[in-house]
Amino acid sequence: MAKLRAAVLAAGRGVRMGGERPKTLLPVGDHPPLLHHILSGLKAAGIEDILIVTGFKPEEIQDYVAERFPDLTPQYSFNARYASWGNFHSVRVALDQSPGMDVLVVNSDVVVAPEVYRRVAGAPGDLVLAVQERTHLDDEDMRVRVESGRVLAIGKHLKRALAHGEYAGVSLLRPPAARLYSDIATDLAWTGRLQGYYEDVYAEMLTHIETRSASVEEGEYAEVDNPEDLAAAIAVIERLEASPASA
């Protein structure tokens, strides 16, 4: 069995949230920043090998982790192209630093229950996506089509009538998926298609490898794209703090 590593994609600036600090370090109401909840959740899920991909103001992220998580010794990898290339390159950076591992990719602007990390890591398939099944979806949602546990399509372009839910920002690439991802990412670089989401790479992978979904229940997930999303994130945080099962 391959070793499990979590790769937190923390390179983004978060322009819609002000753009002065890394998005993952922005406080969530009266609660600590998003990165705090991500690292605490990974620790609660028993995941100790952590790689953080930085970009915008990397020293702020490293200082925060050193001060607030002194017992944590993550590795860091810098994405020098965080501003000019899409976040697909942050995933490529993480995979390059994790040969032969199962890599749990975690967006840095989400709050999820530790159970979600466990479910994704334990699910079958070469590529596993955390999916919250629901019918009400908006333009910002990364929509997913799922049938019998298999992911058939993913993308913001996916018609809402064909979507079954939203990708929840956590995914697992086992070595076959990691190799395929790297091949597609290399092709994107050579052909100049550099502004894509990493989920666009996933979309190209679906017909080549077994891609499964792992369920995300109501109240286990929130994404923060803009200030209006903070209320939902606070609700998830407070639910998790009140639930001993999530500790």
Ordered by start, the domain boundaries in the chain are: 4-246
Query: Can you read off the two tokens belonging to residue 114?
Result: 């530790």
Secondary structure (3-state) at 238: helix
**Res 225: pLDDT:** 84
| Residues 47-86: tens digit of each pLDDT | 999 999 999 999 999 999 999 999 999 999 999 888 777 7
The CATH class of 4-246 is alpha beta
Listed in order, strand segments (DSSP E) in 187-230 are 211-215, 221-223
CB atoms within 10 A of CB 148: 7
Q: Taking the C-alpha atoms of 21, 23, 24 and 29 in order, what is their torsion angle to the nearest 10 degrees? A: 90
Residues 6+ apart with CB under 8 A from 170: 104, 105, 106, 107, 110, 112, 116, 117, 120, 129, 130
39 in Cβ contact with 50 (< 8 Å): yes
Query: Can you read off the two tokens belonging to residue 75?
Result: 């590795």
For residue 143, what is the DSSP state?
A: E
**Res 162: pLDDT:** 87
Q: Is the pLDDT of residue 36 over 90?
A: yes
Q: Is the pLDDT of residue 103 over 60?
A: yes
The angle subtended at Cα 210 by Cα 207 and Cα 215, nearest 5°, is: 115
pLDDT band at 213 (very low <50, low <70, confident <90, very high): very high
Rounded Cα distance, 110 and 107, in Å: 6
CB atoms within 10 A of CB 188: 20
**Res 127: pLDDT:** 98
H or E element, residue 96: helix 88-96
**Res 193: pLDDT:** 65
Q: Is the pLDDT of residue 195 over 70?
A: no
Rounded Cα distance, 8 and 54, in Å: 9
Whether this prediction's pTM lies above 0.85 is answered by yes
127 in Cβ contact with 152 (< 8 Å): no
Give the mean model confidence (pLDDT) for residues 115-131. 98
Query: Can you read off the two tokens belonging to residue 42?
Result: 């990974």
Reference 82, options 113, 56, 105, 49; nearest CA is: 56
C-alpha of 130 from chain center? 9
C-alpha of 201 from chain center? 14
